[in-house]
């Protein structure tokens, strides 16, 4: 089996291609950070491979996703706590209504006459 073909581009061609890729990312909203630039510089100097750089960026993206998910969960928990205790047995009633559930046998007409629906 033959190995992967060697990249025959010159360093100038590689740099131009990299600049074009980053420029297209910037059009889509990518904002380069010093940490990302440092990883790109390590690849350019040959200190790490492209696969290692991809793994670094993937791990950073997963960590960011975990943080955002935790923040979103915390926000929802705060909102739910603010609503107070919800009685799971009473899904259709109005809080404070003496005719809380249709399962109690009260008709819709009786609830309407009571003024709470």
CA angle 13, 35, 55 (to 5 degrees): 75
How far, in Å, CA of 94 to CA of 31, rounded?
A: 49
Of the pLDDT bands very low, low, confident and very high (cuts 50, 70, 90), residue 15 is: confident
Is residue 21 within 8 Å of residue 31, measured between CB atoms? Answer: no
How far, in Å, CA of 44 to CA of 115, rounded?
A: 75
Q: What Å distances lie between residue 102 and 85, 106, 114, 115, CA to CA?
A: 21, 6, 14, 15
Give per-residue pLDDT as tens, 18-42: 888 888 888 887 777 899 889 989 9
- pTM summary value: 0.46
């Amino acid at each position: 089996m033959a190995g992967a073909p060697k990249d025959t581009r010159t360093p100038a061609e590689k740099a131009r291609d990299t600049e074009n890729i980053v420029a297209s990312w910037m059009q889509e909203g990518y904002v380069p950070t010093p940490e990302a630039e440092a990883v790109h510089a390590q690849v350019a100097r040959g200190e790490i491979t492209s696969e290692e750089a991809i793994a670094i960026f993937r791990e950073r993206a997963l960590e960011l996703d975990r943080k955002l998910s935790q923040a979103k969960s915390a926000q929802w928990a705060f909102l739910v706590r603010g609503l107070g205790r919800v009685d799971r047995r009473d899904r259709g009633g109005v809080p404070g209504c003496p005719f809380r559930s249709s399962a109690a046998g009260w008709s819709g007409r009786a609830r309407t006459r009571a003024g709470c629906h």
